[in-house]
Amino acid sequence: MLIYRFLTGEDDAAFCHKVTKALSQGWQLHGGPTYAFDSHSKKMRAGQAVTRAAKDQPYDPDKPLSDY
């Protein structure tokens, strides 16, 4: 089964660390990053999809995706 997550955050070092942590845990980049201007906060927001194969586990919608 392929697990999908979409990571988001302010376009800063903390967001880069969030993506780097996911990669270090076996997640892989899925496509390129996205950027959008948040007019409420007046800051850029970033997003990055990541996927990871989860073998021999049934999908459970109540289980956090980071636990797969």
pLDDT confidence of residue 65: 84
**Pair of tokens at residue 24:** 């270090």
**Pair of tokens at residue 12:** 């800063």
Task: Tell me the pTM.
Answer: 0.84
Confidence of residue 54 (pLDDT cuts 50, 70, 90): confident
Q: Where are the domains of the chain?
A: 2-55
Residue 54 · residue 23 · CB < 8 Å: no
Residue 29 to residues 15, 18, 52, 68, Cα–Cα distance (Å) = 14, 12, 9, 16
Confidence of residue 31 (pLDDT cuts 50, 70, 90): very high
**Pair of tokens at residue 8:** 């988001």
